[in-house]
Structure 1
Amino acid sequence: MPVASIATPRWDGPLPTPEEAAKMIDHSLLRPELTPAEVAAGLETASEYRTASVCVRPADVAAAVSALTGSGVAVGTVVGFPHGGATTAAKVFETAELVGLGAQEIDMVIDIGRLRGGDVAYVQDEIAAVVRAAEGRTVKVIFENAYLDDEQKAAGYRAAEAAGAAFVKTSTGFAPGGATAADIALMRRTVSPHVHVKAAGGVRTLDALLELHRLGATRFGATATATILDDLRGRLTGAAPLTDDAPTTGY
């Protein structure tokens, strides 16, 4: 089911520089139908705009590392994606393999059903195992908030912090709902300042990015990277805003 774009009014506060905004974005290349040529084009977009990272499918990590070496764009990938239902051992193996291929950031999906069932200890232990397997690389924990109530969310966020994760993250982009203002606010007030918040799912406009950044998100999973950053450049130079024609699934 497509995740709707976040509807927000036009931002009327101070604007970041294009370079600052780009370093908030993980350019997402996770849709299952992407061809190698489409992935390569996406890597070129990330390099051109100097995003914080790309987030690619596991099978694309080696190509992304080769293409982006020296660009300043980190290579990220996903573990247990998108359902989170793999065993802990499988997630650990996947993490170790991807780190060995050069991945610098790992976005892992929790066992959603375990958290919904109240087994927070299992969730925390699994996150900690992935953090250890990542050997110091950035680990972002995806909660798929659309399936959780606020009590479950907060328990999961606290578990991620206790397990040593660097980020808590809203969603995969493949569930019925994505990032919301309420969830970003809940994430930010639940975890300590040293744990970052990543918004993913429906962040397709500059206005949405800036509003969620105001609420505490510091990183954004996005397919509409060019639309967002070109809109920012246009506003800074007085040009007309662009139309968002980005895909509507997978962030």
Structure 2
Amino acid sequence: MDISKYIDYTLLTPVSTERNIIDLCYTAKKNGFYAVCINSSYVLLAKQLLEESNTKVCSVIGFPFGSMATASKVYEAKQAISDGADEIDMVINIGFLKSRNYVSVLKDISDVKLAIGDKILKVIIEVSELNKNEIIKACEICLDANVDYIKTSSGFSKSGATLTVVKIIKKTVKDHIKICASDGIKNIETAKKYIDIGVSRISASTEFKQKRVTQK
């Protein structure tokens, strides 16, 4: 199995420098990773660095807490696409979800989806902050919004993906939405477990850098 084709190579720390992004893109290109996932301020740089490769550029939006106004998310998403982003990862408004303000959660996602046209939208639902019923509801809203992926975690909360949570998501969305497992996936063996239960993308940090990612 070629794990590299599942990897979103991710660097989202607030202290990431231009040199860090250059190194990230070089490693992603060398290993044939599917995408790099970065903050929107570095999209232009990453797009230039990856211009002659198959590696996509993914930008996070409303990151990391998702609690800003929908109009702000829409503006940031449009700017990221204009700068060259191929995919958008947005964080839902977790407070709205917990308030059971489901109409606002749906509008938040749908407005971003509309703004980016045919570009891929992954919606980060931050599973460590939600109970099972809230995870299911978030997935149902994502179905209504016709998103492309549900992503488990931002990497900035208490914990990330678990096999149990991914199975709950998969049972809810079936094959209608793909799944990106994120946070804490540090080796090939763990990544393969998620792929085996139906995950289509793995968000992996630079801890993957020195590891062999292609396994027969």
Question: Which TM-score bucket, shorter chain as reference?
Answer: over 0.9
The one-character-per-residue Cα deviations of 1:26-52 (angstroms, maximum 9, x if unpaired) are 000111111111110011001001111
On the 8 A contact 1:25/1:225 being kept in 2, the answer is no
Q: Percent identity?
A: 29
Alignment CA distance shift 1:231-1:192 (3 Å): closer
Counterpart secondary structure, 1:23: helix
2:208 is the alignment partner of 1:225: yes
State the Cα distance separating 1:227 from its structure 2 match.
4.1
Q: Tell me the equivalent position of 2:146.
A: 164
2:15 is the alignment partner of 1:33: yes
The one-character-per-residue Cα deviations of 1:157-206 (angstroms, maximum 9, x if unpaired) are 11112101100010001101101011110111111303100000101111
Which structure has more relative contact order (CA 8 Å, sep 6+)? It is 1
RMSD over aligned CA atoms reads: 1.2
Q: Tell me the equivalent position of 1:113.
A: 95
* Larger Cα-atom Rg: 1
Q: Tell me the equivalent position of 2:195.
A: 213
2:174 is the alignment partner of 1:192: yes
Separation in structure 1 between the aligned mates of residue 210 and residue 188 of structure 2, nearest angstrom: 8
Q: Tell me the equivalent position of 1:100.
A: 82
Q: Tell me the equivalent position of 2:24.
A: 42
- Counterpart of 2:39 (choices 54, 57, 60) is 57
Q: How many corresponding residue pairs? A: 215
TM superposition score normalised by structure 2: 0.96
Which structure 2 residue ranges, 5 or more long, are not aligned? Answer: none
Separation in structure 2 between the aligned mates of residue 145 and residue 44 of structure 1, nearest angstrom: 31
Alignment CA distance shift 1:43-1:127 (3 Å): same
Q: Tell me the equivalent position of 2:54.
A: 72
Separation in structure 2 between the aligned mates of residue 169 and residue 163 of structure 1, nearest angstrom: 14
